[in-house]
Structure 1
Amino acid sequence: MSTDIHIIGGGLAGSEAAWQLAEAGHKVRLSEMRGGDMTPAHETDALAEMVCSNSFRSDDPNSNAVGLLHQEMRRLGSIIIREADKAKVPAGSALAVDRGLFAAGVTQAITSHPNITLVRERIDSLPESGLTIISTGPLTAMSLAEDIRGTTGSDQLAFFDAIAPIIHVDSIDMDICWKASRWDKGSPDGDGRDYINCPMDREQYEAFVAGLRDGEKTDFKQWEKDTPYFEGCMPIEVMAERGAETLRFGPMKPVGLDNPRTGRWPYAVVQLRQDNALGTLWNMVGFQTKLKHAGQVELFRTIPGLANAQFARLGGLHRNTFIRSPELLDGELRLKTRPHIRFAGQITGCEGYVESAAVGLLAGLFASAELGGRGIDGPPADTALGALLSHITGGAEADSYQPMNVNFGLFPPMPDDVRKKQRKQAYTDRARTSLSAWVNTLGLREPA
């Protein structure tokens, strides 16, 4: 099949971009190296495989910027959000998925689309011609990463990302643990018991923090030592080094979790979130780690209720890369020095699965318009999509550019007369109005 555009990378961004283009009638070649070469973090060759978490975070569009982003992507026919909705598992107000079902759903949709040809191949250099989208993600093959660095003339930026362990549910002691969501705010269609909670008293907590600090960590190569972590996915032992109480105000926060055996909040709590539809696997929330595997097993089994925990996957650490997008990309995600090439996904410096897919969606829309011989304006800056795009392509100085999740701080500010308690709702109301007007200019048919 002849192709109109080449997409390199079959993660969330590449799959979303391919879908948007194919649905618009364009012929897509999608290159994905997994199936031959693998990355240090992926376990399968499925498209859109989620690695470090199974959560797309909050699905509430009225009080959270990422929930608003979900809503905007649904309106634009996102394949990623569509399949996430199909594969969702209980997670309070968050949109969490069964990873296997989600990846299988995206893979099936992409491979069965008549306008998409999936090719299992590794691309080692930027194409010299032809419309192209680079969506190789934070684990871009070193050969291609080196070519990108050589082409852009900019030093490659990097940070470390950490993966949380997953536990078999039948190895959790439910005589000690209990199921509940914080403040009993569970999934709207659930029973309000979306998390397994492992309580700790003060002595247990302090011993655990000491174990995190003293545990043997993954060794780094010399050139990796100055590479920063991303604040939104900080290894738990790095958080512990910031202060004895840091974890109690972070992933081990006990607020709003009444232990039914005591009627009180515990001193600290470890939460587990369902990781698959069967409910057989549970993810340790916020427990990204660089502890060595033997140390993880020994320390995590000191957590009350996890003395006999069996781990389906232990935590890990991998190197992520991204480009200085504000310096290198134009407002349509094109490489300024080679405008036939667009970048999409986490390699642009957005952070998070949803954000990655959203940038892939935008790259697909921009490329589709270009193939149709027409130009389109980007989404308004006061929408979640527009705020994210503005951050990537010009919202920060290139020298200080760092990965960023979507948040209301990226939106144009509200007038001073809007009260603080009303601002989140005001942001979302304004965004919905702006997005509707923008969708109308595109002439797109909204999904049923």
Structure 2
Amino acid sequence: MQVTVIGAGLAGCEAAWQLAQRGIAVTLHEMKPEKTTPAHHTADFAELCCSNSLRSDQIENAVGLLKEELRRLDSLILACADATRVEAGGALAVDRYGFSKLVTEKIRSHPNITVIPGEVTAIPEGNVIIASGPLTSDALAAAIAEKIGDGHTLNFFDAAAPLVTFESVDMDSAFFASRYDKGTADYINCPMTEEEYDAFWQALTTAEEASVHGFEDKNVFEGCMPVEVMARRGHNTLCYGPLKPRGLRDPKTGKEPYAVVQLRRDNAQGSVYNLVGFQTHLRFPEQKRVFSMIPALHDAEFVRYGVMHRNTYLRSPGMLDRYYRLIADDRIAFAGQMTGVEGYIESAASGFLAGIEMARRLEGKPPVDFPRETAIGALGLYISDTTVSDFQPMNVNFGIMPPLGYRIKGGKRVKNAQLAARSLEKIDAMREDVLSDRKGE
């Protein structure tokens, strides 16, 4: 038995690992380093092109629950993330390069995985999982469109935030804290007065953008909106978004600032930080000019500027089933952001499910039916739901899972905790079946 996996991002690596762990020979194609995109910077697998945060690690948050489900089912991506985590309050953030390096080492050393570098321009014969990501090359995108029909492919634009060195941040103007003192004080907070914010906002909304073919505000996916696009929606829009000061008290004044720019550690050494929520496609000189107006960043050293790039995803309902298989040809499955799941962990979860389902099908076993009460199952059911009229990329959330069916006292957090407990109970009941066919490395 043999399966071809196209793409060594988070979804492709997870799918390849789950197949290989079940004794199936995997040929993993990755176009790097022979061909790269503007968003890629290394030759390693599972490269984090945008933030180094995998978001909340609390099970009262849907993505935190999804992480815990994957942990209990021996996900490669979660194991590597936990091994390379950096402190980020209640979130799971990783050393960007350490994480990718570890995933690469695990994949390359597995005896059942053969890595072949170079671009894939056609869908191979046999069993295939296509996890080429939102930056799928034009040639492969054309091959996919020919297979499924042009009406099933969509594009949107994604943006990455800039990185600065820790030593260049003026800590006399900044302070360490986490919002509402939740977890440890892992974020650098750069406060701004009303006057400073007003000058910054004026500069941001009039700064020159880089030329991006076909870009319009309406094409921006809300979860990764460029900061300048958000700023243009209103003078104080940023103060209710990434610059929200709530729960952050400046120790120098004892008060909440008018606005706060947060920096999150980007590597284990704490030598590099990223500007949280500052995805952008401003021209590089404009990024330097405008972001240096933030008082604590007046002499900031930018080690990477923000970039804007095209993302491609599929109109999955009616085309893919709940296991991410192509309905018209079940030898082909898709995984990752191109299926319409949005986010690092969601992508890994889709690769996990696509991989174990294909392994079971090749072994003559029925698929594992992750119910809608689980985050893994809810995502698969969302992307395959033909009743969704305006299909858009979706982060995991409790709204796509069934309610408890009874009233809960204690607020949203208590309710979400009970939803999570219900999910993990089901995952634990399924765990032996899911892991029973693994044959090890």
Which of the five TM-score ranges fits, normalised by the shorter chain? over 0.9
Post-superposition offset of 1:327: 2.1
Whichever residue aligns with residue 243 of structure 2, its letter is: M
Alignment partner, residue 362 of structure 1: 353
Say whether residues 1:372 and 2:363 are aligned partners: yes
CA RMSD of aligned residues (A): 1.6
Say whether residues 1:428 and 2:424 are aligned partners: no
Whichever residue aligns with residue 366 of structure 2, its letter is: G
From 90, 94, 104, the equivalent of 2:87 is 90
Alignment partner, residue 318 of structure 1: 309
Post-superposition offset of 1:416: 4.0
1:54 and 1:98 in contact (8 A); partners too: yes
Alignment partner, residue 330 of structure 2: 339
Post-superposition offset of 1:424: 0.6
Spell out, residue by residue over 1:39-78, the C-alpha distance to the aligned partner (whole angstroms, 9 max, x if none). Answer: 12001110000011001000011x1000000000001111
Alignment partner, residue 104 of structure 1: 101
Structure 1 counterpart SS, 2:158: strand
From 160, 165, 175, the equivalent of 1:163 is 160
Post-superposition offset of 1:329: 0.7
2:15 and 2:353 in contact (8 A); partners too: yes
Q: 1:443 to 1:214 in 2, by over 3 A?
A: closer
2:46 and 2:104 in contact (8 A); partners too: yes
Say whether residues 1:122 and 2:119 are aligned partners: yes
From 127, 130, 136, the equivalent of 1:131 is 127
Q: 1:97 to 1:442 in 2, by over 3 A?
A: closer
1:31 and 1:118 in contact (8 A); partners too: yes
Aligned equivalents of 1:444, 1:395: Cα separation in 2: 32
Alignment partner, residue 189 of structure 1: none
Post-superposition offset of 1:445: 8.1
Post-superposition offset of 1:303: 0.2
Aligned equivalents of 1:260, 1:445: Cα separation in 2: 55
Give ranges in structure 2 of 5+ residues lacking alignment.
none
Q: 1:304 to 1:443 in 2, by over 3 A?
A: closer
From 406, 417, 420, the equivalent of 2:407 is 417
1:380 and 1:438 in contact (8 A); partners too: no
Whichever residue aligns with residue 148 of structure 1, its letter is: I
From 258, 271, 275, the equivalent of 1:280 is 271
Alignment partner, residue 12 of structure 2: 14
Aligned equivalents of 2:210, 2:203: Cα separation in 1: 15
Whichever residue aligns with residue 119 of structure 1, its letter is: I
Spell out, residue by residue over 1:327-386, the C-alpha distance to the aligned partner (whole angstroms, 9 max, x if none). Answer: 211222111222210000111010000000010000011011011111123211101111
Structure 2 counterpart SS, 1:414: coil
Q: 1:226 to 1:256 in 2, by over 3 A?
A: closer
From 67, 72, 79, the equivalent of 2:69 is 72
2:50 and 2:160 in contact (8 A); partners too: yes
1:159 and 1:227 in contact (8 A); partners too: no
From 293, 297, 301, the equivalent of 2:284 is 293
Q: 1:300 to 1:224 in 2, by over 3 A?
A: closer
Provide the identity percentage: 48
Aligned equivalents of 1:292, 1:356: Cα separation in 2: 30
Matched residue count: 436
Post-superposition offset of 1:225: 4.0
2:217 and 2:229 in contact (8 A); partners too: no
From 48, 51, 55, the equivalent of 2:49 is 51
Say whether residues 1:141 and 2:137 are aligned partners: yes
Aligned equivalents of 1:443, 1:259: Cα separation in 2: 49
Post-superposition offset of 1:396: 5.0
Give ranges in structure 1 of 5+ residues lacking alignment.
187-191
Post-superposition offset of 1:8: 0.3
Aligned equivalents of 1:141, 1:416: Cα separation in 2: 48
Alignment partner, residue 208 of structure 1: 200
